[in-house]
Amino acid sequence: MSGNETPRGPVDSSRVPRYAGPATFARLPRLDEVGAADVAVVGVPFDSGVSYRPGARFGGNAIREASRLLRPYNPAQDASPFALAQVADGGDIAVNPFNINEAVETIEAAADDLLGTGARLMTLGGDHTIALPLLRSVAKKHGPVALLHFDAHLDTWDTYFGAEYTHGTPFRRAVEEGILDTSALSHVGTRGPLYGKQDLTDDEKMGFGIVTSADVYRRGADEVADQLRQRIGDRPLYISIDIDCLDPAHAPGTGTPEAGGMTSRELLEILRGLAGCNLVSADVVEVAPAYDHAEITSVAASHTAYELTTLMSRRIAAARKDA
């Protein structure tokens, strides 16, 4: 949209109760209702790449349902993201659940179309397999991008049962394909057992820095955010968030939980500390509502997507002001 247009925001909760009406993200308009968007929120209901518990195919809609309670002003970032830029719900990218290779191709093509309109993507997964085609598409537009990867796991393994495309391999493939800026790669929130020390050696060779969940606990969110900002600079940035970066106490509804994770407060504060970064697209994945009592995980994921959307909207508004 042009800088002269007024964005269309969420449904007015003083007129329509939050529990009523279509469950778009944050009760925002659909993409077809506004014609074009600065930020398109899209779901990818795909979990055929998981190695343990399935169910993340239902994550996008669970996040949308939990997002009904989000409000239009974000006091933590002192911004009204839906007034700064046009944010709209683009629905779901429908993919083949029986053929991972075909699904990856479909996601990439759909992302190409959305990014081609000038939108940035806020993608709701789905399992972490979807990050690879999304990164491919973003890199076509911006070149190799910086990556912040929030996760309990490295997701830089080679194959599972001989399969190259799984939720544990997307970032190895991305490095091999040259679509990541290897001078600005970081994992955040990693923890738990590995297959061997070679996992860490291989990961380091790919260029990743690691901030474990214990590092976040000991050093604090502000220091971690500052370190990440220095590593990223003003490079085009993609943020990929596996909700299992949070401790199971804060995100039980996920496929591969690991003890000792970050709190939801720590995750949100780190994201808020990235204000001003050139965030070009992001995803939140691995929400599996079947294991999510009282919607704890979905609520955390909806707030995470809200903070990411706010970061993108602020950057878009700042660019328009400077133009």
pLDDT tens digits for 248-286? 999 999 999 999 999 999 999 999 999 999 999 999 999
Per-residue pLDDT of 202-216, as tens digits, reads 999 999 999 999 999
Cis-peptide, bond into residue 255, ω within 30° of zero: no
Total domains in the fold of the chain: 1
Per-residue pLDDT of 14-62, as tens digits, reads 999 999 999 999 999 999 999 999 999 999 999 999 999 999 999 999 9
**What pTM was computed for the model?**
0.97
Is 11 among the domain residues? Answer: no
How big is the chain, counted in residues?
323
Is 249 among the domain residues? Answer: yes
For residue 306, the surrounding DSSP H or E stretch is: helix 296-322
Is 205 among the domain residues? Answer: yes
Which band of pLDDT confidence, cut at 50, 70 and 90, is reported for residue 1?
Answer: low
SS3 of 245, please? helix
Is 9 among the domain residues? Answer: no
Is 88 among the domain residues? Answer: yes
Domain that holds residue 189: 25-322
Instruction: Render the burial of 243-254: b for 16+ CB within 10 Å, e for the rest.
Output: bbbbbbebbbbb
Is 187 among the domain residues? Answer: yes
Q: Residue 169 contacts by C-beta under 8 Å, 6 or more apart in sequence? A: 129, 132, 155, 156, 157, 158, 159, 160, 163
| Eight-state DSSP code of residue 14 | T
Is 17 among the domain residues? Answer: no
Is 218 among the domain residues? Answer: yes
Q: What is the CATH number of the domain that holds 311?
A: 3.40.800.10
